[in-house]
Chains A and B, each alone.
Chain A
Amino acid sequence: MASQPKIAPLPSNAPPFAHEFTKRMRNRKDVTKKPSVRQTQSIPMLLSARFFRNGKLTLEDFLDVAVYTTYPPDQKIAREIAEDILLGREKEIKNPDEQAVVAKSTVVKTDALAKVMDQIKREQELAKVIKKDKVEAGYEYLLELRKQKDKSLYNASKDYLTDGEIVLRGITSNEELKDTASAELMDKFGDLSSQDIQNSQILDCLNEVCDSPNAAEQIAASSLMGDKDVQQKFSDLSRIDTSTAARALRHMEEMGTLTTEQQKAMDQILQDELDDLSEVADYAKELGRVPDNIDKHIKDAPQKFSLSDAAEFAKNIKESTGTDIMDDLLKQYDEQYDSGADKNVDMRQLAENARQSESWKSLVEKEAQCVLDSADSRSSPSDFLRSVLAQNQPLEKNLPSQDAQKQWDKAMQKFADGAVEKSPTKSHLRQTVKHASRLGQVPSEKAIRNAGERLNMTEEEILELINPSFEVIKKLIQAGVNDFDRLHNLMSAAGLSPQQLRQLGDMAAQLGNQGALGAVAHEDLHAALGTGGSGMRPSYGRASYGAQGRPGADQPTDQERIDLAFGGLLGGPATNIIKIWYTYRDELPPELKQRLFEIAKRLLIDLGMRYARATMGSSMLGGIMESTTVRPFRIGDDIDLIDLEETIDSLLAQGSTSFKVIETSDFLVTETYQGHRAFYWALDKSGSMHAPKKLGMLAISVMAGLYGIKKDDFGVVLFDHETHVVKEIAQRTIAVEKVAADLLEARAGGGTGGQESIKLAIRNFEDSKAKEKIFIFATDMYLSDQAICENLVERMKPLGIKLIVLCPTGEYNPQAAHALAKKGHGVVLDIDSIDELPAKLLRVTNY
């Protein structure tokens, strides 16, 4: 290794340096932008400007200039190469390539370590070269310093300078050492420790610390200096800023500059100035103890702070001092609830700060009552309570103890009952009961009965709400009720067996009750059609349809019943019909299957359109295009955009005959707009996705995507262990019907390999000219090639591709999903039902 710089820092050496530097940069394979001739010119130009400004050049100027003239992503490499040239490390230069080969095979750890070692080596060498003559002198001085009996200076300076630095910087005297160490110490102003302040005395910079921009450091330094007016200064500071004063007091206590009386007096001053619990928390953090008057502050807290804020202070106080004041705080919030503390408490904060204490329980009860009372002042009390229930019910599972959960449950029961009792109409009551039950909070029988009686419901109607049973439904069908929603709600709530559904289906078919038959179909298609087999019980006669489509033992003989069932099916939610298709497609005879397929296809297309409108609208985000519309000219517009024909036309239409009086806005220019965006969907149809709900949801979301961005680029691929391309972005024209059919025929099976679809997506995006690129990866994330996929998605951010991992809620692998999203700088969207898709997708894309 050379000990002399190869290039002396003279202006005449700038051109050869620049030439050598750019040459070596061009030879490196890892630079993003190869330097052009312009950079070779720039280096000497910038160096001479420096020379004329400073009157001299140093090696560091050469280094700086090489770095500054390099494109930012390559500046690290530039520094390395410039150092190599300046230090004359020719031989080593060849090594990095070889090293790189070896490094690839070694583990990452050694790689990182080698990097650090390299850096240290380089810095040391640089320092050696630059100040070589001084280094020896520095070393001599260090030896001498360590031999000195009085170690105080050496010890104080060690906090700021290592032995190596003393040597490298060529420090040769105590004065120089003090100056250098002081400068380092003063750089830490605002963050000084008590030890630093004490060191400043030895390093002769205590006076400077007295002028530190930080008041705590000023006072502590004055106190160390023995200033008489420290107490006065301290009390002035305490008046305006107690936490800085607490820090000053801590410094003084740690340095032992105060007598016991002084310390007590100052502490008292400070404690007297503490205004509230937040200042108490600062006091505790600095001094590691609580003030004597903490009880007073606890008592004041409910009027000043929200419960969450107060709890945060209590947590900090506990961490700094070990004193737990949370129970006392809750007690105060409870006692003062009626005298103003209610404003600072709500259910969410109570859930976040649950404790095993009577005060907490009492607070929950009071707050719940308060919410119930306030419901009456709302426009719709029942809806308000329903939404309160929906917000707070899920918080129960995070509560720390069973006792707390029990208390919470009581409050939730009150909300559920309240919502039922305040329902204004029969149908609202039915909905409320259903809504609350779905949330897991079944309203009490008494509440339902009271509400039912108030709304003049019959005994049957009330019973139907309290206990939706087979018998009730049967009676309703017999009585000719054909309200699809009502019957379907009851059937799903009652949890009927296939046999019971079959009975209901038969009865509805006999009576020609289409609504009822439709409701049965939505629960079990076989029961409605009267065919064998069951979606829920696959073994039930599934194999009975041979290639000829021969009917099974109890095959439908009745065409009328089939028509009725399919008609009734359409009365239900379309999303459910898509799900039904995926459930029953393998269990139906060919003609019925075809019929269901046609219905599902039509509905899938309709659903796509509907969700597309709700989700995306139509936006354009791409390059500038000229449109066919015109608008008035604004100053700054390109004059070439003026459409003379339209302008003259509009002037004549306005009745102008002279062009002498003409406004700027009379000119019409062609409107410009921005181009398009590109979407690419990769849809997982692997074995783990084998659930009608998952497949149905994803199919609809793809259709919605297809419709929403008809004008934009759009591609779809289905994948399991192999990939099936439905539509590439480049295929401009493809029938919607074909996509729908492809999606409906998608069959889950096989292992999951996502890499091919991601590669396809990247290739498609690279060919697309769209400005905004969005890749939607719809899967449950049980991938067999997770690692490869992660590597692939890493390339997306630099290409400007936004990654959205779309998963079915509760049925996906969250760790894998988040890991993938993190690598691709993307986001995980889990949706429980297709209805959630528009809102959620809207939040992560900018439409």
Chain B
Amino acid sequence: MQKEMVEFKKNFEERLAAASKEKVKIVLKEQYSDAFDVLHDCENANLIPGIIGPPGTGKTLLLRAYAEKTGRDLYWVTGDEGVRPSHLTGAFNPSIVLNKGFGLEAFEPGPLLKSMVNGGVFGLNEGNRLSEYVQNSLLDPFEEGSISVQRLGRIKAAEGFFPVLTMNPEEMSGAHRLSEALRDRIRVWIKLGYPRKQTELEIIKMNSPEYTISDATLERIYGLVSATRVSTDIEIPASIRAGISIARLSAEMTKRKKEKSVSYATLSEASTYVLVGALRFRPGIDTEPAVNALVRRSLGS
């Protein structure tokens, strides 16, 4: 048992080191480079930015890259109705409290408090999905850079604390609205859309460094994912991530089948595997036949 624990500890530390060595891979071009600059400006001007873009356009990646380039950690949380303020700031572990009282050692900090104390970038994903009560609990940290931790006192955020909100443009209105108060605290709105063809192809290539994928295959993949973005039957189209997945899966399948290049059959198989889960169709449309038809139409032409 002890041997196993020693082994685990060693491997765990190795992995920790590997994670800290890993560089964020991002194509800083066009909208991404503009957004990156604006993030810089916002931080210097002490303004809180919101990044608005459909799923999979690289909002989180941009934040990760920003944190890395400025030498900080990124802490992030995805909002939903179940998140409560204690999930953001942290909570006491009652069993330790019972023995040691309400002290710091009984406290398990949440991502918001960590980023405030360590001076990191705090990404609040889909903040609009938080309940209004939780959204309002963010006003103090966002506006004043301070937070009151129950029973421990009020703290002032460290110098590098930089909160950023990211959300989906579809939800600017409707059931999941940003609370009026929080919306007013977001001072700068950066819009991200799907990148231009060449940039998207470059992103796919960058994320599949171990495979050589031909131009024709890349074009087909792009054709397919961009077709999903114009179809009126699709509510959530293929993201850049889906394009990368298709490229990688088809390249790997080709390797396994020992084919010289990605064949039609392989590409269509890989695309179907990826898109069945990646797309959301309008209600009433059966996913599988719709994906099959889409793949056949797009790859065949």
Contact = CB atoms under 8 A, between A and B. Distances in A.
B191 A216 contact: no
A623 B131 contact: yes
Contact of A42 (B87, B94, B187): B187
A305 B265 contact: yes
Interface in B152-175: 169, 172-175
Of B184, B190, B297, the most chain A CB neighbours within 10 A belong to B184
A327 B142 CA distance: 69
B26 interface: no
Nearest to B38: A68
B15 interface: no
Interface in A796-847: 797-800, 827-829, 843-844
A104 interface: no
18 contacts: A39-B187, A68-B189, A69-B187, A69-B189, A71-B183, A72-B169, A72-B189, A75-B191, A215-B214, A244-B216, A312-B300, A633-B94, A638-B86, A639-B150, A659-B98, A771-B81, A798-B173, A828-B284
Contacts of B183: 33, 71
A635 to B, nearest CB: 6
B72 to A, nearest CB: 18
Interface of B: 37-38, 40-42, 44-47, 52, 81-82, 84-87, 91-95, 98-99, 108, 110, 131, 150, 169, 172-176, 183-185, 187-191, 197-198, 201-202, 212, 214-217, 219, 260-261, 263-265, 268, 282-284, 296-297, 300-301
A279 B87 CA distance: 54
A316 B214 contact: no
A637 B82 CA distance: 10
B300 A48 contact: no
Interface stretch (A259-267, A418-426, A660-668): A660-668
B283 A36 contact: no
B197 to A, nearest CB: 7
Given A38-B185, A276-B264, A843-B283, A664 B94 contact: yes
Interface stretch (A49-57, A453-461, A611-619, A680-688): A49-57
A213 B38 contact: no
A829 B45 CA distance: 53
Contact of B110 (A636, A642, A664, A771): A636
Nearest to B143: A38
A482 interface: no
Nearest to B219: A190
Contacts of B42: 46, 49
B175 A800 contact: yes
A308 B292 CA distance: 11
B45 A45 contact: yes
A747 B81 CA distance: 44
B226 to A, nearest CB: 13
Contact of B284 (A52, A659, A663, A829): A829
Of all A-B residue pairs in the complex, the 3 with the closest CB atoms, nearest first, are A278-B264, A800-B175, A241-B214
A53 B84 contact: no
B184 A38 contact: yes
A599 B300 CA distance: 59
A674 interface: yes
A653 interface: no
B265 A304 contact: yes
A282 interface: yes
A771 B265 contact: no
Nearest to A640: B86
Contact of B41 (A46, A215, A844): A46
A282 B263 CA distance: 12
A723 interface: no
A664 B95 contact: yes
A843 B284 CA distance: 7
A208 B183 CA distance: 47
B216 to A, nearest CB: 4
A216 B188 contact: no
Contacts of A187: 198
Contacts of A316: 300-301
A214 interface: yes
B45 A46 contact: yes
Nearest to A623: B131
A45 B174 contact: no
A637 B91 contact: yes
Contacts of A667: 94-95
Nearest to B46: A45
Interface string A92-104: 0000000000000
Contacts of B95: 662-664, 666-667
Given A639-B91, A798-B174, A189 B198 contact: yes
A38 to B, nearest CB: 6
A412 interface: no
A244 B220 CA distance: 11
A215 B219 CA distance: 12
Of A282, A624, A663, A672, the most chain B CB neighbours within 10 A belong to A624
